[in-house]
Chains A and B, each alone.
Chain A
Amino acid sequence: MRPHLEWLYRLAYRYTAQAQDAEDLVQELLVRLYRNPEKLAELSDVRPWLLRSLYNLFVDQWRHRRRTPFGHLHPESWDTLFAEEGAGETPETELQSAGLRRLVLEALYRVDEEHRALLVLHDVEGHTLPELAETLGLPLGTLKSRLFRARRKLRRQLGGGNPLAEADVIVAEG
């Protein structure tokens, strides 16, 4: 399992936006795995199964235990992320892209878990809808309409305006 942990953590972090929650989510997945070792043995490629299990765990069960409304997120963890980004950018573009990322992240984590998870898998991680349909065991049409709704929700959270312009304002205030 060790080779998959970094990837699992990255996914979990994308879902939850918090380091501790991401760690807890991965740990819970591993607990289930330990209790069902025969499942691992019968899989030729474990990654799709892990992706599906983590998705289901987050969307169906875990979200009820750890509610992370936007107000409870830890912006300092995002600051860590932003601090590591921007290498090679000019100070001006760095500030602009960091502000935009913050806006998009804030909007993303105001989207409900089910739609957020799909946005993470498709728009952030780059999985295609047919891939996800097969991996998650969901009809392609269902995923399409769900992704459509997810994007609409995200755009609503972004206010429908131009996030680039708003990012500039936030950076200026900071």
Chain B
Amino acid sequence: MDCKTVNEILDRGGADEPAADLRLHLAHCTACRKAWDAGRAAAATLKSLPVPPLPAGFADRVLSRAYAQAERVESRRRGMQHWSLALAATFLLGLGLGLFFAWNAAAPADGYRTLADGTLVLAPGNRTVVRIALDADHAIGDVDFMIALPAGMELEGHPGEREVAWHGELKQGRNVLGLPLLAQAGARGELTAELRHDEKDSVIKLRVVAATGPTWWVRLRQWAT
């Protein structure tokens, strides 16, 4: 029996009745005897740690709060279902969220196009699906999403709301969040998408304008106003 073996026995939880060779070693090695006594005392203490008293009103409080919170989450989830939501994100550890907007200017069915400076031009009065692509390197269970819209714009199914938030999950790989935007003529400003997970925020802002006419005309109007 040597000191290393004694340490390993302690790390395995010790022994209620030390074997003869262990007893012999402990009798001659002061350091191991101290470590043994300390380890056994700590193990016994862990077994007899006091039971924390239950706070007054705990059960009612925690059940009602949890129910209310679950209802809020479910309500947001239902609100998102008709958006044909398929999303995920990537949280690049140490770098925050890898997130970018992706839109296809050559997709006339979506009814929008982009200007050279990245501004997204929407056709007023039409439903326009803006897609946000999120790349995730692993699945993430708890993500808070928030979309903030400029005045004169709203998401289909959320009339009059300029901020829509919900709680969701992200799967590994590329995910696309489709936002069905409705814009009034002349509305413009920034669309903000914010994702929060693990106390980390990632925010993407996109300039959007609802206008008709050729690109040069829209740019001119933007410049003029």
Chain A positions near chain B (C-beta within 8 angstroms): 1-2, 5-6, 9-10, 13-14, 19, 22-23, 26-28, 30-31, 33-35, 61, 64-65, 77, 80-82, 84-85, 97, 100-101, 104-105, 107-108, 119, 123-124, 126, 147-149, 151-152, 154-155, 158, 160-164
Contacts and interface: CB of A to CB of B under 8 A. Distances in A.
Given A31-B70, A148-B11, 11 more contacts: A6-B54, A27-B69, A30-B62, A35-B74, A77-B52, A123-B47, A124-B47, A154-B42, A155-B10, A162-B34, A162-B41
Contacts of A107: 42
B10 A61 contact: no
A164 B46 contact: no
Interface residues of B, number: 40
Contact of A35 (B43, B45, B73): B73
Dominant secondary structure at the A interface: helix
Interface of B: 10-13, 34-35, 37-39, 41-43, 45-55, 58-59, 61-63, 65-67, 69-71, 73-74, 141-142, 198-199
A164 B36 CA distance: 12
B91 to A, nearest CB: 11
Contacts of B11: 148-149, 151-152, 155
Nearest to A12: B52
Given A2-B63, A27-B66, A158 B46 contact: no
A103 B141 CA distance: 36
Contacts of A152: 11
